[in-house]
Amino acid sequence: MFDSSTLLRQRFAALRSTAELFSLRHVKQSQQSLSVRRNVAEPPFFSQDEGAMLTVRVNGVEAYAATADLSQAGLQRALEQAEALARRIKASSLLDLSGQTAPSGRHDHVSPNFEQSLPNLADCLELLAAESASVPRDERLVDWQASLGFSVVEQTYLNSAGAELRHAQRFIYPGLGVTASDGQDSQSRSLGRENFGQQGGFEVVERCGLVGAARWVADEALQLLLAPNTPAGQRDLLLMPDQMMLQIHESIGHPLELDRILGDERNYAGTSFVKAGDFGHLQYGSKLLNVTFDPTIHEELASYSFDDDGTPASKQFLIRDGLLVRPLGGALSQLRSGLDGVANSRACGWNRAPIDRMANLNIEPGEQTLAQLIAGIEHGILMRTNRSWSIDDARNKFQFGCEWGQLIENGELKGVVKNPNYRGISADFWRNLSAVGDRSTFQVLGTPNCGKGEPNQVVQVGHASPACVFRQIDVFGGDA
Amino acid sequence: MSTVYQQRFESLLDGLNAAVQPGEQFTLGYSAEHSQFVRFNHAKVRQAGLVSQASVQLRLVREGRQAEQQITLGDDAELDRQRLHDALAQLRQTLPLLAVDPYLNLDDSNWHSHSLLEQPLPELDEVLALVEREAGDLDLVGIYAAGPICRGFASSFGAFGWHQANSFNFDWSLFHANGQAVKANYAGQAWCGETFAARLRQAREQLAHLGRPAVTLKPGSYRAYLAPAAMDEIAGMLCWGGFSAQALATGNSPLQRLYNGDAQLSPLVSFSEQVSGSLSPAFSDEGSPRRDLLLIGEGRALERLVSARSAVEFGQQANGADSYESPCALSLAPGNLPGEQILERLGTGLYISNLWYLNYSDLPAARMTGLTRFATFWVENGQIQGPVSTMRFDDSLYNLLGNQLEDLSQEREMILSTSTYGQRSTGSSHLPGALVKGLTLTL
């Protein structure tokens, strides 16, 4: 771990610059992707990536240069390119960062069980092959795949104010998916994949429940193929954690990103229906809604001690008792807006600059068991596992779809329905939150695929949530 | 600069050819770019930087087994050669752990392809000055991305492909004080300051229409004209498995019913993968020469995109598709609607410049949902009445490009991808606008 640190430290110390502040963010990442599809192992894929971003501040203007040339000359060249660029854009620059304080201090952050050995490649493939082979023989089961992804990231941030912040993280992404088709309609059921990932060792695979899951996942895909469409109309909606994470992500996370509110993302990811003046005033949801930025749940995907700009991370309430109190904005956005934020300035790698991102964005558990949540619904539907997401550029009008639906009548779970979709408006939806599950319903989930920014970046984000109930939501099915 | 990247690739290739052992085959893909990224907000520079990156992807094959590794390259030729040899060693250790791959399908031809386009790019100072001169008083937000892009491919069978081009892509929006916005883009390989200035002025003129009071519509079915940029979003959804041989064979394609012969689109609709003349490399990531393919002809499914792997798995003929079987240069044939008659033929309905955030609400039914975004207008009797507040649609492709399709525009737009996920994209689409009798708005 941190094998490059000594050399980096020496090379950073030898850099020469007239900038008032400069920093180096070195990122080294290795990945391994394994999968078995329809009982045949796909070719394993490995990657090794390493590079550094040099950022300078000259007369209050910042610019960067990213390079994979980590020699002394390569780093010096990148630093000089960044300096020259900062001087060149001075007259056109939107921001004067002269007053922004630079991070300092030293700290290391390491994922839980980071140094625990993982099973070797042959054992991993054997596990996936066994799961794949457990999918029953049924001509309607036309596609299935079991997969494991591992990613190890080591990052070192150094700056001319003396900071040395390092993190070493390992991310694990298990997945299983089965598609059933009758030639006209197709229905898929999955576990993990885009809806699950955690930091840690092989215990993450166990927590996901991958081993032994193929039979029930395949069975549920077949159930969906035979199920009626979700009936259209207003129903109480019980969202399980693997759909809650998407709901949180799209209609709380993105609208609270401060760079969107400041207009940076209007050309691509979009703006926000939330305004800077809403913090401390807007009743975002019902009194049951408590949303936190929480980097302290160790296994969650975006747990860390410092963000990529070097700001120390701590748990903060963004929404407390339904009241909007704090945005998702890093140090720069906080300076620009005058609002208190969180440590969420993040980059996807060495070749992209940090911007405001979601990290771990969670809903705090309430007091009801799942049985109590269901019992409290007279005319409703349970939905689980996201499969479709769409929301407007202000993050207000949304339509989401799930893999699995189950009607609820008079407090009891009833039949399975396919194509469960629902739509609503963020500004109203969370005010209809009527019940929040307790810790027994709470799951730590996340996704590796949150896209944003110009140039584009994909980062992993964590979402932990209990099951939740929303009153009188428009639900509907598909055409098939 | 012109031959540096290619020399680096060839040097690595020479080393690899010398290092492989009898019985081993390899493919080596190469990707590099030197990019200038400048983000704008309020017509000022919000963030600026330079990114220099290069990587190779090595696939090693022996005795029917295969594995791949991608490594980032630096500027030190000796260090890069060592990294590649380390990757080779790791793949050698990996192969014996694998079962024989029944779908391994190597292209053993020794094709050659070479493309080098090096039109000069503008100095950043010129770009900044034009933005200041033409839009300094406007609320402009967006990104300028420019620089050389390289893609290479070589195999132990002697195949060699090289694609290198300077390109730029300025993608921006102008915002009205009322929150409405117009989107514009100037992209290509031959920069012209006057053309850029003209695009900025055109966007400024369009902005004036957005000052009218916004029109709020109720859910329902509306006549609509979908401009090429809006059609690009719909086409983008079809690229998501629509033409893929694997997706079609495994129930995961939105065009399943079309390819099964159970549904068809309007006879006006002819989609093709038109690689020739596009900005994409002439070879796939798998190392096969790409081909122009007629995917949908007059509303009926024809060819599908077949990768080498799918060809074996599903008993079909590989046709130069990328491994993920997505079009890189999708083209929709033009129709009969002249540009100057669009508003008149629309009559009363929606003029939709852009769509946003599409996804499937029922994939096998090709039913998709999404939202209007940027410069969507309500039109009455051929006259623009005002901008329309964001609306959601939810409709099937079999309606929009099937029984509800009235015409396609005569003029088409070449839309160059603005995607910069991981690297700057070379993808493009060539699309007309579509006049539809009914588009279902739901929220």
Specify the length of chain B in residues. Answer: 443
Cβ-Cβ contacts under 8 Å, A47 against chain B:
69-71
Give domain status of residue B430, yes or no.
Answer: yes
Alpha carbons A72 and B169: distance in angstroms, whole number: 32
A vs B, Cβ pairs < 8 A, gives 258
pTM of the model as a whole? 0.97
Give domain status of residue B12, yes or no.
Answer: yes
| Same domain? B339 vs B402 | yes
Q: Taking the alpha carbons of B197, B202, B203, B205 in that order, is the dihedral positive or negative?
A: positive
Name residues 207-266 of chain A within 8 A of B (Cβ). Answer: 262-264, 266
Contact B41 A262 (CB under 8 A): yes
| Same domain? A240 vs A117 | no
| Same domain? A158 vs A26 | yes
* Chain A nearest CA to B388, separation (Å): 14
Residue B135 contacts A where some CB pair is shorter than 8 Å = no
Give domain status of residue B214, yes or no.
Answer: no
Please, are residues A287 and A251 in contact by the beta-carbon 8 Å criterion?
no
* Chain B nearest CA to A16, separation (Å): 19
Alpha carbons A243 and A401: distance in angstroms, whole number: 9
Beta bridge partners of B332: B271
| Same domain? B98 vs B188 | yes
Contact A89 B45 (CB under 8 A): yes
Cβ-Cβ contacts under 8 Å, B183 against chain A:
267
| Same domain? B235 vs B203 | no
pLDDT at residue B209 in the model: 87
The predicted complex's ipTM stands at 0.96
| Same domain? A300 vs A368 | yes
Choose the final residue of a domain: B209, B230, B258: B209
| Same domain? A163 vs A257 | no
| Same domain? A204 vs A253 | no
- Domain encompassing residue A240: 233-476
Ordered DSSP codes for A321-366: TTEE---B--HHHHHHH-----S-EE-SSTTS--EE---BEEE---
Using 50 as the pLDDT threshold, list the residues of chain A that sit under it.
Answer: none
Distance between the two ends of chain B, CA-based, in angstroms? 52
- Domain encompassing residue B252: 220-441
Cβ-Cβ contacts under 8 Å, B44 against chain A:
92-94
pLDDT at residue B286 in the model: 87
| Same domain? A202 vs A295 | no
Give domain status of residue B215, yes or no.
Answer: no
| Same domain? B202 vs B239 | no
Choose the final residue of a domain: A166, A191, A226: A226
Contact A263 B45 (CB under 8 A): no
| Same domain? B296 vs B434 | yes
Tally of structural domains, chain B: 2
| Same domain? A117 vs A259 | no
* Predicted confidence pLDDT, tens digits, chain B (443 residues): 568 999 999 999 999 999 999 999 999 999 999 999 999 999 999 999 999 999 999 999 999 999 999 999 998 999 999 999 999 999 999 999 999 999 999 999 999 999 998 899 999 999 999 999 999 999 999 999 999 999 999 999 999 999 999 999 999 999 999 999 999 999 999 999 999 999 999 999 999 889 999 999 999 999 999 999 999 999 999 999 999 999 999 999 999 999 999 999 999 999 999 999 888 899 998 888 999 999 999 999 999 999 999 999 999 999 999 999 999 999 999 999 999 999 999 999 999 999 999 999 999 999 999 999 999 999 999 999 999 999 999 999 999 999 999 999 999 999 999 999 999 999 999 999 999 999 999 99
Identify which of B250, B356, B364 has the shortest CB distance to residue A185. Answer: B364
Cβ-Cβ contacts under 8 Å, A85 against chain B:
48-50, 124
| Same domain? A400 vs A472 | yes
Cβ-Cβ contacts under 8 Å, B250 against chain A:
142-143, 179, 181
Beta bridge partners of B412: B432
Main-chain phi, psi angles of B411, to 5 degrees? -90, 145
| Same domain? B233 vs B256 | yes
pLDDT at residue B418 in the model: 97
Choose the final residue of a domain: B176, B209, B242: B209
| Same domain? A139 vs A158 | yes
| Same domain? B306 vs B366 | yes
Contact A46 B145 (CB under 8 A): no
pLDDT in tens, A288-329: 999 999 999 999 999 999 999 999 999 999 999 999 999 999
| Same domain? B243 vs B172 | no
Name residues 408-437 of chain A within 8 A of B (Cβ). Answer: 419, 421, 423, 425
Give domain status of residue B110, yes or no.
Answer: yes
| Same domain? A352 vs A428 | yes
H or E element: which one contains A371?
A: helix A370-375
Name residues 204-223 of chain B within 8 A of A (Cβ). Answer: none
Contact B367 A71 (CB under 8 A): no
| Same domain? B172 vs B81 | yes
pLDDT at residue B118 in the model: 87
Name residues 183-202 of chain B within 8 A of A (Cβ). Answer: 183
| Same domain? B288 vs B250 | yes
Q: What region, left, alpha or beta, does residue B338 occupy, with left being phi > 0 and alpha being psi -120 to 50 degrees?
A: beta
Contact B367 A65 (CB under 8 A): no
| Same domain? B298 vs B433 | yes
Contact B45 A353 (CB under 8 A): no
Cβ-Cβ contacts under 8 Å, B365 against chain A:
478-480
In A38-136, which residue ranges form alpha helices assigned H by DSSP? Answer: 72-88, 121-133
Residue A64 contacts B where some CB pair is shorter than 8 Å = yes
Residue B442 contacts A where some CB pair is shorter than 8 Å = yes
Contact B75 A46 (CB under 8 A): no
Residue B73 contacts A where some CB pair is shorter than 8 Å = yes
* Chain A nearest CA to B135, separation (Å): 12
Contact A401 B390 (CB under 8 A): no
CATH code where residue B18 lies: 3.30.2290.10
| Same domain? A154 vs A91 | yes
| Same domain? B300 vs B264 | yes
Amino acid letter at A185? D
The β-bridge relationship of strands A397-409 and A379-391 is: antiparallel
Name residues 112-151 of chain A within 8 A of B (Cβ). Answer: 120-122, 125, 142-143
Contact B251 A143 (CB under 8 A): yes
Specify the length of chain A in residues. Answer: 480
Identify which of A62, A122, A423 has the shortest CB distance to residue B442. Answer: A423
Closest chain A residue to the Cα of B262, Cα to Cα: A184
Contact A68 B175 (CB under 8 A): no
| Same domain? A61 vs A196 | yes
Contact B67 A49 (CB under 8 A): no
Choose the final residue of a domain: A211, A226, A241: A226
Choose the final residue of a domain: B209, B234, B266: B209
Contact A263 B181 (CB under 8 A): no
Q: CB within 8 A of B120, min separation 6: which ones?
A: B166, B191
Cβ-Cβ contacts under 8 Å, B54 against chain A:
68
Tally of structural domains, chain A: 2
* Chain B nearest CA to A410, separation (Å): 28
Give domain status of residue B376, yes or no.
Answer: yes
* Chain A nearest CA to B336, separation (Å): 31
Q: What angle do CA B233, B403, B351 make, to 5 degrees?
A: 45
CATH code where residue A93 lies: 3.30.2290.10
